[in-house]
Amino acid sequence: MQSRSIKNIARCACAPPLLAMSLASAWGHSEEPTRHEFAIQHFRTESGVEVSQARIVYGTYGHLNAAGDNAVLLPSHYMADMHGYDWLIGPGKALDPTKLFLVTSELFGNGRSSSPSNTPEPFHGPRFPVMTIRDNVEAVHRLLTEELHVHHLRAVIGFSMGAQQAFQWAVSYPDFMDRIVATAGTAKTYGHGIVRLEGQIAALTADPVFNKGDYKAEPEVGIQAFAVVWTGWLFSQEWWRRELWRSEPSLGSTFSQVLEGFRTNFIPNADANNLILQMRTWESNDVGSTPKFYGDVEAALRSIKARVLYMPSETDLYFPLTDAHYESGFIPHCDLIPIPSLWGHPAGAGESPEDAQFINEHVANFLSSSS
């Protein structure tokens, strides 16, 4: 198995875009996206708050063809940047940028797109409005149609919070894409997921330095407590029992070293308000609350027209396999293919070479199939 450093694992807490970087090495040289920024003036959030300027950082790979029918959207996951899907992109992988036009959008709150840490008053820090998954989808829809002149997608492919966005795309814009792929993520955050996230927020905000979000320096003790709670849910219990961290020497040679590494270097240079904002976005995810469905998640799922490849991780503690089984039963054209892995939630981002190969093969077959 390809060795990964704790710093790389920390680059994306919900999957460590460790994956992105380390698996790029495992699968060969990763493609480099072109960085762009799209600004929306007077962006009105779903809650009714108007942000004078909302910015989305995004990357592109390849070029839109003359027919305009080769675009694929890859929305980012928790605290990830445009490199979060490098393990899927490149020659010999599921997404070949010599044939496809790939757009990798970055979520509000990741520290690069508009976030609590980089937005001026009156919305700086804890005053930044909660951005829902639908807010992110609406902003990216404008990015695609207004700036890139993309009016149809071959697919939306997402992991974790990216999967949440993929489902929302299929409900909000049912004719905008042919297919969606969702790995290790559900169409709604159910009660147990909200309890978990609230526990992580509580651990972070208990640090007196946090000062209700108006801190003068990052609340390091709180961030470390948050990191330990998050780590406890990241991998499967079997992963810990078998001490599979031993296959990654860079994580440490003892359990104590591994735990301390996650505690102190989980998300380097993270801003506490950014971390919380994206957890609030995660908590609010619910396709059933899309206007016209009145809270009925099952009706929203039944409305999906796109073909769906739904790939939960068999050992995911964030998005349990049982939730995926429940949701898939209402989606008209859905292939449910669990990822057989002990790597828990990160399996959905190709955490191990076996996970990456499994997902790449299924995504490639799904995108190329004619049915």
- Catalytic residue numbers? 160, 316, 345
Q: Which amino acid is present at 240?
A: W
Distance between CA atoms of residues 182 and 317, nearest Å = 16
d(CA 200, CA 187): 21
| C-alpha 3, offset from chain centre | 23
Is 318 buried (19+), middle (13-18) or exposed (0-12) by CB count in 10 A? Answer: buried
How many CB atoms are located within 10 Å of the residue 129 CB?
23
Copy the structure tokens of residue 163.
Answer: 């999967």
Compute CA distances 153 → 32, 72, 304, 322, whole Å. Answer: 21, 6, 15, 29
Q: In angstroms, rounded to a whole number, what is the distance separating the alpha carbons of residues 361 and 371?
A: 17
Amino acid in the structure at residue 272: A
Q: Which residues pair with 38 in a beta bridge?
A: 56
Q: What single DSSP character describes residue 132?
A: P
End-to-end, the C-alpha distance of the chain in Å comes to: 35
Closest by CA to 234, choosing from 336, 347, 98, 357, is: 347
Return the sign of the alpha-carbon dihedral for residues 130, 18, 87, 59.
positive
Report the alpha-carbon distance of residue 167 to residue 17 in Å, rounded. Answer: 21
Distance CA 135, CA 180 (A): 19
Return phi, psi of residue 56, to 5°: -120, 120
Which residues on adjacent β-strands are paired with residue 39?
Answer: 55
Query: 71: which strand partners?
Result: 101
Q: Return the CA Rg of the chain.
A: 19
Q: What is the DSSP string of 26-92?
A: HTSPPP-PEEEEEEEEEEEPTTSPEEEEEEEEEEEES---TTS--EEEEE--TT--TTTTGGGBSTT
